Chain A
């Protein structure tokens, strides 16, 4: 009996466990460059943290409202080019100072997102998906054809700091990406718990019903879309500074857009931690795969395989599936002694245990 006690998963313990895990991940993320300073590891870390931010930012729109954008690479590329053009035209010396341009790139992306959102959000479901993809390719095309501005297919070169050589080169970018990822997760968490966030989830479930109970769906959707885009645009800006060379087909890469979606799906759509877990699993795996099989398009096969596995085995993603598992395990534990203890135990089948209601009350 005492063994059961120590093993019991109580809501309090789950929260404590979650807190502990988060603390560990945070500490690990902060000191990673100290533990593993080699450029191969820190380079991989830059991209992994970048995708944590991207997937979490995408999830604010796609996960919460259910509006699947496959064209978020438009904002990534736009943020990247905004940053590149600003740093070049302002003749800024490379170093730490140009990072102040990251929020500016975010603001410019906001303006673009208001425009795109205004048009795209007149449509629903499949049409919305197509419209977002169309905008992405439009921007890619502009990047290729506005040669005077972007350098077109020849690319746009950005200055980089010669002081940041060797092992140190990745470090500033790593922390910049980490800061943006933390910001994005924070925003996502805040939204998830606010009235605004509940309105978004209501839109995901039934948009007309949400309208009927007073959710201003148009402005809510547009706000979520713009927040999501701004975060992606800022991450794109840091990416630009990091890779120091921009090409339209890589900055506006449809695969970047698909990757963030896939990571959010794998981890669990509409949860705060899901996209983080999805990115932590997928990005290193994808980089490893690309490394082993050369820069060939073979990793597309990998992506397709992951997508199929997710859809078939974990249609709701890792986090919700695990949560369900824990939930049903706990219920069985609770029900176990009662059902076994007495034959006439008044087990009300199908009734929620009161604890569940209380617990949900504590956190909507």
Chain B
């Protein structure tokens, strides 16, 4: 059963067709990779699915409902989280406060109450410890290293317990040791029940981690399958070699 189903999704920017009737699906419980050359439309697909931009056409289904046209905050509330290609955190909030922004806000009472932090702070500290960054809980986001930001962004997006998380280059620009840690954490979170769709240029990372891979080229999904099948698909080789 697929958790996310994208059908004939299209988006153009002026003359540029960024996403061209693209269809793909993300099986529940999987780690699915989304790969493709630079400019092939991966980030745009993320922006369409999470409601940051409106599609020109096509459908997006999450579980049983259509989510195309909803705003990003609503989509997050429905259970889809995302991270950004260049780690984005709140620079003037501490790491711990960064963790508390995404918690669910149910109703006006919860919103205005001050006494409810206790439990959520505990969970936030656990999550920071899980990512091995609890020592920077009190540090301002702007003072963190790039690697710490990547970890914090991933930790924070998990706070509301999303069912599906879209990761845009989770291993981009980090050193090999950290890359290994990030892969391990994603695997653990997946085992605990979170489904992932991730964009990544590091092929080793994708091949190791993903159960299923979708290849996009010029805005279209041109191949899919398990990592080995995809690696041996001639169409994929063509796309990457730029023919």
Is the C-beta of A288 less than 8 angstroms from some C-beta in chain B? no
A358 to chain B: which residues have CB within 8 Å?
A: 138
Closest partner residue, chain B, to A210 (CB atom): B101
Is the C-beta of B94 less than 8 angstroms from some C-beta in chain A? yes
- Picked from A205, A213, A357, the residue with its CB within 8 Å of the CB of B102 is A213
Q: With A and B bound together, what is the CA distance between A214 and B92 in angstroms?
A: 19
Is the C-beta of B68 less than 8 angstroms from some C-beta in chain A? no
Asked whether, in the complex, the Cβ of A357 is within 8 Å of the Cβ of B137, the reply is yes
Instruction: Give the interface segment out of B18-26, B74-82, B173-181.
Output: B74-82
Asked whether, in the complex, the Cβ of B101 is within 8 Å of the Cβ of A199, the reply is yes
Q: With A and B bound together, what is the CA distance between A356 and B136 in angstroms?
A: 9
Instruction: Sort chain B's interface into a size bin.
Output: 35 or more
A201 to chain B: which residues have CB within 8 Å?
A: 90, 92-93, 97
Which chain B residues numbered 84 to 99 have a C-beta less than 8 Å away from chain A? Answer: 84, 88-94, 96-97
Asked whether, in the complex, the Cβ of A195 is within 8 Å of the Cβ of B96, the reply is no
0/1 interface trace, chain B 207-220, chain A, CB 8 Å (1 if under):
00000000000000
Is the C-beta of A325 less than 8 angstroms from some C-beta in chain B? no
Is the C-beta of A215 less than 8 angstroms from some C-beta in chain B? yes
Interface of A is mostly: helix
Is the C-beta of B192 less than 8 angstroms from some C-beta in chain A? no
Asked whether, in the complex, the Cβ of A211 is within 8 Å of the Cβ of B72, the reply is yes
Asked whether, in the complex, the Cβ of B135 is within 8 Å of the Cβ of A213, the reply is no
A361 touching B138 in the complex, CB below 8 Å, given contacts A194-B111, A194-B113, A194-B114: yes
Q: List 11 A-B contacts (CB under 8 A).
A: A190-B114, A202-B101, A206-B90, A209-B88, A209-B89, A211-B71, A211-B72, A212-B88, A214-B102, A217-B73, A364-B121
Residues of B within 8 A of A (CB): 50, 52, 71-73, 76-77, 81-82, 84, 88-94, 96-97, 100-105, 110-114, 116-117, 121, 125, 134-139, 141, 156-157, 159-160
Known: A211-B73, A212-B50, A212-B72. 4 other contacts (CB 8 A): A196-B105, A201-B93, A214-B104, A354-B135
